[in-house]
Structure 1
Amino acid sequence: MKALRFGRSAALLSVAALALTACGGNDGGNASSGSSEGGTASGTLIGGGASSQESAMTAWADGVKSVAPELTVQYSPDGSGAGREGFLGGAFSFAGSDAALKEDEAEQAKQICGDNGAFHVPAYISPIAVAFNLEGVDEVKMDAETIAKVFSKEITTWNDPAIAQQNEGVELPDTAITVVHRSDDSGTTENFTAYLTEAAGDAWKYDEVETWPSEITAESAQGTRGVVGQAAQTDGAITYADASAVGELGTVAVKVGEEYVPYSSDAAAKTVSASEQNEDGSIELDRATTEAGVYPVVLVSYHIYCNQYQNQETADQVKAFASYVVSEDGQKAAEEAAGNAPIGAETRDAAVERIEAITAG
């Protein structure tokens, strides 16, 4: 594992100690060297959050050296909830999150970022794969209602008629289905349950949630790699995860309109392109779409930044890193490392405008 990843205990050494070095403080921020001059960022920028971004973040932390050789980026991939918590507590200068700030979190951000609060940059677009481990089967077809009933444990075997009738010619065993979900507060869970809420109708009774419903007794694991690893070790298991991490697991082609669409970065990107962007940079996804060729089980993972930082050095660090991430080079680096879908030109232009407007004071 690359050195970029470090434990939560190390990343969150002390909110009190780091609060002066993330979004605030007058002592030069997180940096190990003097304040940057001429827009050249230096020192160490600390962030944390979504584990879905781990591979992309490694690529970005390496690639930003091409534009800011003296800038080091450290990122702790402990989950979206932990990332937002660290950002709002002052421990991180930015958060990675598979979900936008909630209304109360946006208000809380003003305590760290000033009256103008925080904003979102859609940095990482990826399909969420519904992934499974079933010997001899690489792909099955399911509509939203069936997926919802599987994950709510109303459907408990792989040869259930609801699955079999959508997969003529596929020999499905009577193996028990083992549901594996995220144990941590997860933006991937929130995006997945948002899809079920919008597309599956009454078959999903638990709404859009960041923490898996306690009423559904199932197996669980920490982080993206955790659920994929557990599913890979369990015959009959099914889980949901960032598609870049599913490895050799089989995947579900999801019914959209009259066709079944396998996950792909292009199909995920089409969903985002057809959606609206809010004033704070977050995206309103249409997950119940019937548009051809669209894969609606998608996450838009954000980087969350302050509109204003308390010192120029941190502002320069953030602007250098954020600008690289959304650049064509940055998005290409992430795509090669993680297989995600690059953001579109309009999304990039809006992000650059917000990033360039970051101030210090």
Structure 2
Amino acid sequence: MQKIVAIAVIAIAIIAFITAYYALQIYGGRKEGLTTVTVTSITTSTNIQLQGVVLQGAGSSFVYPQISEWSKIFQEMYGIQINYQSVGSGAGQSMFFQKIVDFGCSDPPLSRDMWLKYNGSILQIPWLFGPVVIIYNIPELPKNVILRLDAVALAKIYKGEIVYWDDAYIKSLNPNITSMLPHKEIVVVYRSDASGTTEIFTTFLYKASGGVWPRELVGKSISWPVEASGRGVGGKGSEGVTQNIKQTPYSIGYVEWSYAIKNNLSIAAIKNEAGNFVTPSIETVKEALKNAKIPTSPLDDFSQILDSIIYAPGDRSYPIAGPTHILLWKKYDDLRKAEAIKLFLKWVADEGYNHVVEGYVAPPQNVRELLIKASNEITTQ
């Protein structure tokens, strides 16, 4: 028995010695090696080189909530900071072409004339999609009651021709809630800045109103006819429109779906090309995207994409859906910024779409491929 105990004691001592020896080797004599292994397992040597790079972007307020989310995750992973200014698509394009920022974001793509001017030097990708929604503040309507509107009603409201919420035409679209519609003047809210959201909205009005809304009133920045009535209110960015609707009873406006969700605003059902009243959802936007004309190269002309999505056919197709584009230079002077942009594009394609903010719709596979193609196209001078 004593012999067995002695053997056991010797065995334990040997194990303790071996454990102590290897612990000393790992935690004592090789501290630097341990640190290197830990960092390498998280990041690559290229990514370490890019830590501290700051990318500047500006443009569409449409995409701002999503870029904010992506930027936070991307910086945590790679140490690359993305500063994005929500200034509107028009200002974003201007800042991009002046090279004030490294990339721009615009809901509408470059016009064909602009694309021809910069053909071969500009990359653009419709990297995110979403609906533009009609929001309203009518205190008499419960939250579970959904107002119905069509392009004719909206065109007449924004032209100042429909003045009151209980107008006969609005009542005809809402036969079940006519008694709830108040005899109150409509306060009409619109974007005061050059906005891609405005271009999407006015394109819908032109396409779907049967001539009520004229072609000359389509664009990023227009002269709103309702201004002359004194009932028009401009808001800077989608943030400004949202605040005006929240604070102003009997108002109506248009913003991206994400802003309406975040602020718990009432959203109208809109009559689509098939004659059905449809509310925004991932499914109804995807239905509209089935008709999207998306080129196969980020160097191509994307100017037809809006027309192919807005007021698209389909029983459940949401009629005011659109993309938002990222604009990039094919050549950058700064090597580190070029590599950081390339990494960001690949990350969005491979991982970023797993973190889509509520109110947006991730693009189809061919758009993800465009991001990878764009990343491969980017070079330095």
Q: Sort the TM-score into its range (normalised by shorter chain).
A: 0.7 to 0.9
- 2:276 aligned residue: 259
Q: How much has 1:281 moved relative to structure 2? A: 6.6
Percentage of matched positions with identical amino acids: 24
TM-score normalised according to structure 2 size: 0.78
The equivalent residue for 2:352 is 330
Amino acid across the alignment from 2:319 = P
Partner of 2:373 in structure 1? 353
**Aligned mates of 1:290, 1:145 — CA distance in 2:** 18
Q: Say if 1:101 and 1:148 are closer, same or farther in 2 by CA, change over 3 A.
A: same
SS of aligned partner of 2:62: helix
Which residue of 230, 244, 253 maps to 1:230? 244
Contact 2:129 2:324 in 1 (8 A): yes
Q: Is the CA contact (8 Å cut-off) linking 2:158 and 2:225 kept in structure 1?
A: no
- How do 1:234-313 and structure 2 match up within 5 A? 234-246=248-260, 247-256=263-272, 257-278=274-295, 279=297, 280=300, 282=302, 283-284=305-306, 285-313=308-336
Aligned to 1:184: 193
Q: How far is 1:135 from its partner?
A: 0.9
Assess if the C-alpha contact under 8 Å between 1:184 and 1:211 holds in 2.
Answer: yes
Structure 1 residues 326 and 216: alpha-carbon distance in aligned structure 2, compared to 1, 3 A threshold: farther
Counterpart in 1 of 2:136?
Answer: 132
Unaligned runs of 5+ in 2: 1-43
TM-score by length of 1: 0.82
1:209 aligned residue: 219
Tell me, what secondary structure is at the counterpart of 1:216?
helix
Deviation at 1:249, TM superposition (A): 2.1
Alpha-carbon deviation of 1:174? Answer: 1.1
Equivalent runs, 1:42-61 vs 2, <5 Å: 42=51, 43-61=53-71
Query: Hey, what's the Cα distance between the residues in 1 that align with 2:301 and 2:238?
Result: 25
Q: 2:33 is matched with which residue?
A: none
Q: C-alpha distance in 1, partners of 2:116/2:98?
A: 13
For the residues of structure 2 that align with 1:158 and 1:58, how far apart are their CA atoms? 37
Where do 5+ consecutive residues of structure 1 fail to align?
1-35
- Asked if the contact 2:192/2:234 (under 8 Å) is kept, the reply is yes
Matched-pair contact (CA < 8 Å) for 2:57–2:104: yes
Task: Write the distance in 2 (CA, Å) between the matches of 1:231 and 1:237.
Answer: 6
SS at match of 2:83: strand
3-state SS of the aligned residue for 2:87? coil
Equivalents in 2 of 1:281, 1:298: separation in Å? 20
C-alpha spacing 1:299/1:287, structure 2 compared with 1 (3 Å): closer
Count of residues in Structure 1 that have an aligned counterpart in Structure 2:
317
**Which residue does the alignment assign to 1:172?**
181
Establish whether residue 146 from structure 1 lines up as the match of residue 153 from structure 2: yes
Q: Secondary structure at the match of 2:80?
A: strand
The answer to whether the 8 Å contact 1:44/1:73 transfers is yes
The counterpart of 1:70, out of the listed 63, 79, 94, is: 79
- Cα distance in structure 2, aligned partners of 1:303 and 1:195: 22
Structure 1 residues 312 and 37 mapped into 2: Cα distance closer, same or farther (>3 Å)? farther
Contact 2:287 2:314 in 1 (8 A): no
Which amino acid counterpart does residue 275 of structure 1 have in structure 2?
A
Which whole-Å CA distance do the structure 1 matches of 2:181 and 2:210 have between them? 26
Structure with higher helix content: 2
Distance 1:216 1:176, change over 3 A: closer
**Contact persistence 1:116–1:308 (CA under 8 A):** no
1:298–1:288 CA distance, 2 compared to 1 (3 A) = closer
Q: CA-atom RMSD, angstroms?
A: 2.0
- CA offsets 1:134-184 (integer angstroms, 9 cap, x no match): 013242111221221122221111111111111122121111111100000
Q: Following TM superposition, by how much is the alpha carbon of 1:267 offset from its aligned partner in structure 2, in angstroms?
A: 1.4
SS at match of 1:277: coil
Alpha-carbon distance in 2 for matches of 1:59, 1:226: 20
What is the SS of the residue equivalent to 2:288? helix
Higher radius of gyration, 1 or 2: 2
Q: State the 1:252 CA deviation.
A: 1.3
Contact in 1 for aligned 2:115/2:301 (Cα 8 Å): no
Select which of 221, 232, 236 maps to 2:235.
221
| Counterpart residue identity of residue 56, structure 1 | Q
